[in-house]
Structure formats: structure tokens, C-alpha cells
A and B are shown apart, each in its own frame.
Chain A
């Protein structure tokens, strides 16, 4: 198995919001699977990290939770993006892009003198 990274502080919220934006209402397990798959299994995500992050987003009003039934008839809690969450996603995506560009510029290969 490839070396697995711990999820970086602050980025998990963005990943969750993005996941819910792409896939619509989803339970915790689904979110975890999706993040792991998207990262090609390079990210390790345990419940102790994921569920507090979900609760925090819920407390901040970016997502809503409701008990429902999963695809294979199990009771599961489904999370859904709120309008505020959608706005937050756009904002954070923009910020992240800027940061990424900035870091990329710093880390660009040295020019030949």
C-alpha cells in the first residue's frame, strides 16, 4: 500500500462540502469512501476526524443532517448542503485556489541563471 497522508487541517471541510456538492445528500460512510477514492487511497480518514468535522459544519449551518435509508436498506444519517454551505464552498474554493497558486509560484523550479 502506498504511503497514506493524514488529512490536512482545514482541507477536510472543503473536501466534505465539495463531495456533497457533487454527489448530493450522502451518509458519512459514503463521504469517507468518496474522499478516499478521489485521493486514490492516499488519504487516511478515521471516524474520529470525519464525524467531528461533519458536526462542526452542521453547527455552522453549512450542512444539514437527517436520518434516512441507505441504498441497501440500512438506517443512516444523510448530510445535505445548505445554501449557506454552497456559498461557503464557492468562497473556500476561491481562497484555496489563490493559496495553491501562491504556493506553486514559490515552489516553482529555480530559473537558470
Chain B
């Protein structure tokens, strides 16, 4: 082994030994011949004859020097080195060609590298969780708004645990906000309450201290806290001595027992994970016995020999059984479903669609740029045929010529890749921010070895493809090639056809990209045109929940003081200059409410099989609707008289009125909240009289399907949240600082969870779509630009190859207009073919992005027509330039040359 390595090193070194070693070998061989000749002379031979004999016996010196040379170095490495030297020299002779090719490839390869780094970081990278591929996330969903992820109740968790032996373990996680008494004051931190086995199931370990186990389960356990890596950094500055420290959480003592390794947040962002014992609610009978009390998310680990399908079957069986057994907990009209989703899929759910879209767009750009480079290479190949013929005539074999071309193309592709990677390096921080919107794994994005390997692989693939395009004779066909000379070869029909095919491909792919870009842009425009339902945009919303869930459940006195503080804030904000109205309520206008309950109307029953209607639970003070600019359609707004103890009244949105009282006068009718879940809430199931109907608003995003909404007077319900809605004459954004100061003074420790104007909110709602549209559009523009250059280039080349022919035509009487038309027709056919193929492709491929669209259908005729016109115009302009050149050919000059 050592010997082989040593030998190999010596040979690599020997390859670059240079001329000294050569002379040395020659001298040694000369000495050998002389010694042999001397021997013959000693035996009595004539000196000249002796030398001849010596040479004859030993074989020629030159051959021997060659043989020694081959042993000294690595012949193949040496010839590759020669190829590289040659390729560099030849590219240096055509710097324009090299620069254009490298830049074109840099665009394609750079775009792919950048997007792939995101795809890898967010979707493909192995999870930090031990055996992450055995993890699954369970989701409980049903039809209707807010039904996408209902979470599970503890009894449901128990049913699944008992009914699905395919899971080796099930962990429970309940999203919760806790108040941490830090040395600087009370802060709310996003947390998760988990069962003791959570970390074991997740396959995560502690970087300091320890994690929870089964001993931490149950009401009697002492509260303990595990910090997530982010929580540790943010709240404790990465101080390792926090382990073992006692801290105050929700007014109780909890011990920090460990720090978790860095891992993507799931199911929700959390700075700390605690055992259930910290929350009296989570260990109460409400929580543990209420079948509809759904605030638990489930992560499970598949048993070693179980398959995902088995688990799905078992969970489906459990779902069917409990739905049959507990009819009151599962409205049959709403179709409750339990799904088992591989963990990695659940993590990447929101990112997947967008990322594959971008990856596809980037791949298209690469196809187009590679096609362009292929065309350039083909044209250059024609000019080089003479050179290749000469090299062949001098004894270069087909293999050697191919290798030479491959080395050249590799240099170009890798050069392009290097520029592309440099661009991608600059883009990674940008992409990380972009990906952070929809993936908890965005911070794992980097240009690592795998990404670079992908880039290099891509470059090599491009180089190989380009090399295959070159026309070289079959082995043994050299004689005819050399005989034919360069001129006969260059007019090869096959090559021209290939060039045309490449142009058609470029146009077609550009059309597909443009169609995607067009649809996404129209989506964005449609979205910005959506009516919010508010009459003004000069509204500032400040969401500031004063109470935590624990306060609401266990501290009734807190409610009154919170309401006093809200009223104080409202009055102070009202006094700010320019403010015309301030209302209190929850949640803020255009925000979706996570609180939805089943609702029923008096004297009405549901049709059989009809889903029980569910409505958003919202609260509003007397000035809320006016401040938010929500129009009152019928009846009255809330007044100061609608107090606790006064008759229960509600205001509903138009959609609810239409749904529950179609064709009737809704004002004066009565509705009530209903459903099992209300048993666990402080919300009354009493009848409430509708006193007003307001217009529908676009809550939960401009693309959200509208839901039913019930407002109750802010004063009549617990302050389950709250904030200020501030309306001004103009420039309400300027009030942000003043509003913040007011809130800070009255409620110093309460978190301001958002402070936004309605315009900012709308913007934020549109911006992910805008980003999609902008990215795909820039890819589309790039594609069209490259394709246009490609068309013009190929036609120009065709014109220059046909100069003589055109000269003859013109001298025979063809006018310049006719020549121009001829060339235009030649290009027009290519563009038309590309358009036809592209449109067909777009009709099919845009269906893939259906879920990203809003307000347009994948085959949107307006978009496709626009794309056709745009591409057609660009294509014709690209054809027109060479056509004009053709029409200016002077027959006299061409005929003479």
C-alpha cells in the first residue's frame, strides 16, 4: 500500500519534472551504449560497427527515452495538462466568446445554485432529530374556515395512543404563552407545554443539563423548563450557568434543567418548553377529560417495524370509531379527519410549493442559457473546423479531439459556475430572509459542500452536453474528413437543424416562464385590488393583550383592571392630534380570530348533513366600528349601555346574517354559541340579540375565504385580548411612536404583539406574492432576453453563411424587401413553433402552481394572450436585426469575393 502511494506521488511529481530529467535519461542511455560499444571494441570489433551493434541490441535510444519518460510521469495527466494549456490559450484568443458564454452560464448556474441552497436547507437537509424520518405529525382538520388544524384533545390523544400500535411513542405539545419574571421585569415568552417524553420522541438532546422524562408528567410534578437554543441565546445571552437556576414562570417557581440543541421550531416557535405542571389548566379535568378541548398537537415516532401506511390505517380506524362513539364531539357535516404526516413534510409544508416553483424557474433559465451557449459553441465550431481538420491531419485521434473540446467546455462551464457561485454567495442572506417567511429551517441555508457539489455536477453536465454537439467524424473516418476540407463540412444540414431546434426550445421555455410570471403578477395585482371592507386606510392598529390565558382562567379580578387600562389608553390616544376616533376590541380589524365556535339561531334547525356553522368570536367597544371604518348596514352599533349585566347583544357581519337568516330581517333575532367546547370556557351559551349588521371584512389575509363573524360588546366579555384601533385624518403612520408611548406608560410589561397601519397590513399580506411574482418575473425577463439574443445570433449566423446565396438572389432581381421578408420568415417560423410548443407547455405546467394563484385560473386566456404578444414582438425584433443586415448586402461586393 505504502509502496503504491509512494510510487503514485513520485509519478505525479515526475509529470512536472521538466527537461532536466529528460536530458538525464538520455545521458544515461548514451553511457550505456558507449559501454556496450567499448565491450564490442574490446572483443576486436571496428569502433563504428561496434556502436551500430550496441544500438541494435538494445533497441533505439529515442524509444527507450520515451519509455522511461512514460514511467517517470503519468502520461494521461500530462496530456490533460497539455489540453488545459491549449484550451486556455484558445479561449484567450476569443475573449468575447469566452466572456459571453461564461456570463450566460453564470446566470443559469448561479440562479440554480442559490435556489438549490434554499431547497437543500429547507427541504432536503437531514433533520437534526435522531432518526427524523421515523417522526410523524398528526393533524386533526375539518371543513370550513379555521378548520385546517384543530389540534387534538387529551382524550383523542389517548385514543390514538391506545389504538395505533404502529407508534412506539406519542408526545404531546401545547402552545402556550408564559410570563417570565426577568430581572428587567415581566416578559411574555412563547413556550410549549410538553409531556415528559417529548424530547425522547423528537430525538433531540440537550447541549447542557438534561431534558424532561416521564417523571415530570402529572399534576404533582415540580415545574421544570428546558430552554430552546434560541430562547437561551435571547433571554440569557447564552449563559451556561442558567442550568439549575430557579426562575419565576407565571408566578410559580420553575427550574431550568437544560438547554436544547439547535433545532427547527415545531410545532410552533418556542423559547422554552415546560412540563404540563406549570399550568393548572393543563393538569385539570377540563383539559384531560374534555373531548372537544383541543389544544394539543401530537408528534409520534413510528415503531421500528411499522410502516407509515400501517400507522395511517390505524389512525383512520381510531378516527372512525370515536366519531361513531362520540357524536356530540364531531359534527358529521364538517367531516373531521385525522391525518398522519411525515415530520419532514409537515416542516416544509408551506415552503415546498414556492421553492419547487422557483427551482423550476431557475432550471428553465439554465436550459435557455445552456441552449444559447450551445448555439454559440456550434457557430464557433464551424469556424474552428479548419483548425480541427489540421489537427486531425497531424495525427490527433478522435478521442483526443473530443477530450480537447470537453476540456474547453469544462473550463467555460466551471468559469461560469465560479461567477455564479460568487453571485449566489451574495444572495444567500437575502434568500434566508425570504425563506424565513415560510420555513422554520431558513437558518440552515448555506452554500455547503453538497450545494457546491450540485453546482459542479451541473457545470460538468452542461460541459458534457456541449461537447456532444461538436461534429467529429467516426473513428476511422478521418481520411474523408481531411479530404473534404473545412468548407464542405460547415454547411451540414444536421447542424443547422440543431441550431433551429435550440432556438425553438428557447422560445418555448421562455413562454412557459413568462406565463408563470404573468399569472403570479396578475395574482398579486388581483390581491392588491381586493376590497378589505374597511372604508379607510388611515387606521393604526395596536394589538396589546393585557391578560394571559392563565389570568383569564384563574384571576377574575384581573379582567376589570385590564378593561380600565384599555379605556385609559383609548382616551389618551383619542387626545392625540389628528386622531378622529379610537376604538377598543379584539382581534384587530383584518386579523383572523383564532377563536371560533359553533353558532345556532333561535327557532332554526339544520338540514340533515349540513355542517354546523362556526363563527369567529370577536369583541368591540362602542367606537370600534367607526374607528375601523367598518360600515354599519342595519340596526345600531354597540353603546356605552351594553355593559356587563345588561341584556346580551351582538353585532354580526353580513355573511352571518345571510347564512342564518336568509331573506329575513336579522336585527332583533337571537343567536347563541353552542358546542361541547364551551363547557371549558368562560363564554356563556345564553341567547344573544342581534342589534346590528356590519359589512363583511377581509379578515385573515386578502386571499382568505370569508367567514362568519359575531361581535360582542368588549365590556360584556372577558378581555381575551385587546388593542386600539386609531383613526386619523391623514398620515396615521406618524402616530406610531406616540401610540407606543401611551401603551408603554399605562401597561409597561404588556407585549405589543403588533403595531401596524391598515396599509402596512395589506402590504404584508400581498408581499409574499409580490416576491414570488418578482422572482419568477425576473427569471422570465432573463429568459426572454437570452432567447432574443439566441434568435438574433442564429439568424445572423445563417445570413453570414448565406451571403453568397443572397448576393446571387439580389443580382437576379430580388429586392431588399424580399430578402428581408425571406429572413424574417425563416426566423418567424422558429418563433411561431416555439410559441406553439410553449403555450401548450404553459397550459399544462401552470396547473402545478394553481395553489399559488389568486383570482386567475392556470390557463388564464388574458395572461396567455399577453405572453404570446410579448414573446412574438420580442422574437420579431430579434429576427428583424439580422434581416435588415441581409437586405443591405451589396450583390456586387459579395459576387466579387
Contacts and interface: CB of A to CB of B under 8 A. Distances in A.
Q: Do A and B come from one complex?
A: yes
A29 interface: yes
A46 to B, nearest CB: 4
Contact of B61 (A47, A61, A72, A76): A47
A88 B7 CA distance: 14
A33 B42 CA distance: 15
Contacts of A76: 28, 31, 35
Given A59-B11, A60-B3, A60-B7, A29 B32 contact: yes
Nearest to B36: A29
B78 interface: no
Contacts of A77: 24, 28, 31
A17 to B, nearest CB: 13
B70 interface: yes
A51 B31 contact: no
Interface in A36-75: 46-49, 51-53, 55-56, 58-61, 70, 72, 74-75
A28 interface: yes
Given A29-B32, A52-B68, A72 B58 contact: no
Contact of B25 (A51, A53, A61): A51
Contacts of A47: 29, 32, 58-59, 61, 64, 67
Contact of B63 (A29, A48, A58, A74): A48
Contacts of A55: 68, 71-72
Contacts of B67: 47-49, 51-52
A78 to B, nearest CB: 10
Contacts of B3: 60-61, 88
A25 to B, nearest CB: 15
A97 B36 CA distance: 33
A106 B3 CA distance: 32
B35 A46 contact: no
Given A29-B35, A59-B7, A59-B10, A52 B70 contact: yes
A contacts with B: majority SS = helix
A69 to B, nearest CB: 11
A48 B35 CA distance: 17
B184 interface: no
B31 A27 contact: yes
A50 to B, nearest CB: 8
Contacts of A32: 32, 58
B145 interface: no
Interface string A8-45: 00000000000000000001110011000000000000
Contacts of B35: 27, 29, 70, 74, 76
B422 interface: no
Contacts of B72: 55, 59
A48 B6 contact: no
B6 A46 contact: no
Interface in A74-109: 74-77, 88
Contact of A28 (B28, B59, B70): B28
Contact of B32 (A28, A52, A61, A72): A28
Nearest to B24: A77
Contacts, number: 76
B393 to A, nearest CB: 29
Given A29-B32, A70-B35, A76-B35, A48 B64 contact: yes
Contacts of B11: 59
Contacts of B57: 46
Nearest to B38: A72
Interface residues of B, number: 30
Contact of A75 (B27, B38, B61): B27
A71 B148 CA distance: 98
Contact of A61 (B6, B14, B64): B6
Nearest to B59: A46
A33 B58 CA distance: 11
Nearest to A84: B3
Nearest to B11: A59
A53 to B, nearest CB: 8
B559 interface: no
B314 interface: no
Contacts of B14: 59
B59 A48 contact: yes
Interface in B31-55: 31-32, 34-36, 38-39
A74 B71 CA distance: 26
A29 B35 CA distance: 7
Nearest to A77: B28
Contact of A51 (B7, B34, B36, B68): B68
Nearest to A62: B3
A35 B32 CA distance: 15
Contacts of B39: 33
A58 B27 CA distance: 17
B70 A46 contact: no
A88 B4 CA distance: 13
B10 A51 contact: no
Contacts of A75: 27, 31
B38 A51 contact: no
A45 to B, nearest CB: 8
Contacts of A48: 59, 63-64, 66-67
A49 B29 CA distance: 12
B65 to A, nearest CB: 8
Interface in B62-83: 63-64, 66-68, 70-72
Contacts of A59: 6-7, 10-11, 14, 71-72
Nearest to B31: A76
Contact of B31 (A56, A60, A74): A74
Nearest to A31: B32
Nearest to A44: B57
Nearest to B14: A59
A28 B31 CA distance: 9
A73 to B, nearest CB: 11
A29 to B, nearest CB: 4
A94 to B, nearest CB: 16
Interface string B622-651: 000000000000000000000000000000
Interface in B60-118: 61, 63-64, 66-68, 70-72
Max chain A CB contacts within 10 Å: which of B6, B14, B31? B31
A4 B570 CA distance: 114
Contact of A56 (B25, B36, B71): B71
B70 A60 contact: no
Contacts of B10: 58-60
A17 B752 CA distance: 87
A8 B7 CA distance: 21
B21 to A, nearest CB: 10
Nearest to B27: A75
Contacts of A51: 25, 28-29, 64, 67-68, 71
Nearest to A58: B10
Nearest to B61: A47
A32 B39 CA distance: 13
Given A48-B64, A52-B71, A56-B7, A74 B59 contact: no
A77 B32 CA distance: 9
Contact of B34 (A33, A46, A74): A74
B10 to A, nearest CB: 4
Nearest to A46: B59
A51 B58 CA distance: 11
Nearest to B71: A52
Interface of A: 27-29, 32-33, 46-49, 51-53, 55-56, 58-61, 70, 72, 74-77, 88
| 7 closest residue pairs by CB, A with B | A59-B10, A46-B59, A47-B64, A52-B71, A29-B35, A48-B67, A48-B64
Given A47-B67, A55-B71, 20 more contacts: A27-B31, A27-B32, A27-B35, A29-B32, A32-B32, A33-B39, A47-B29, A51-B29, A52-B71, A58-B10, A59-B6, A59-B72, A60-B3, A60-B6, A60-B7, A70-B31, A74-B31, A74-B35, A76-B28, A76-B35
8 contacts: A28-B32, A29-B32, A29-B36, A48-B63, A51-B64, A51-B71, A52-B70, A74-B35
